[in-house]
Amino acid sequence: MIGLINLELVGIGDKFAIWPVNQLSSGYLLETFEQSSKSAKVETRRFDKIVTNTADHLSFRRAGLTDAFTITCISDKDIEVANQYYKAAEAGIDSAFLLKILAQSPIFENYHQPGDRYEIIKEESISITSSVLFDTIMTIRRNGK
C-alpha cells in the first residue's frame, strides 16, 4: 500500500482542503493527488491542523503509513472560516466559541444535523472529486506504483 486518501465532506465546495499536511509534507500519493488537482484546475489548500479531534486517516498513520491524509471539498467561505477558527484557537479562545465559528462554515452547516441529507450534495463537487481521484489512481498505475 502506498498511501491512503480519506474522503470527508466531499459533497459541497469547489476546492480541496488536504489535511493534516503542512507545506513540508511530502509523499508520492499526496504529490500525485495535488498534481492531478492542478491538471484539473481545482485549487487545493494544505491545512496542517484538523478541526475535529479525529479522522479516519489517523489510524493508518499510527500503523506506519505516513502518506495518509484526508480531502474535503471546500468553498472560499470555508477557507475564511477556517482562518478565523485557527486564529481564535491560537489565541486560546474556549471551545464553545470555536464551535460557533465553525458553524459559519458551509461544510459544517448541516454536518451531523437534521439537514444533513443527500439533497444538499452538489453534483459538481462529486464530479470534481471523482475525476481527480480517478486521474490520481491512473497516474499511479501508469507509473507502476
At 6, which helix (H) or strand (E)? strand 4-7
Tell me the whole-structure pTM to 2 decimals: 0.88
Report the pLDDT value the prediction gives residue 50, as an integer from 0 to 100: 66
The C-alpha cell that represents 14 in the structure block: 469547489
pLDDT score, position 44: 96
- In this structure, the chain runs to a length of 145
Residue 134 to residues 60, 77, 114, Cα–Cα distance (Å): 22, 27, 32
CB-based contacts of 141, cutoff 8 Å, min separation 6:
none
Kindly give the confidence (pLDDT) of every residue in the chain, 145 residues in length, as a single tens digit, with 9 standing for 90 and above: 899 999 988 999 999 999 888 888 999 999 999 999 999 999 999 988 766 656 788 888 888 898 999 999 999 999 999 889 889 988 998 889 988 898 888 888 877 778 788 888 899 999 999 999 999 999 999 998 7
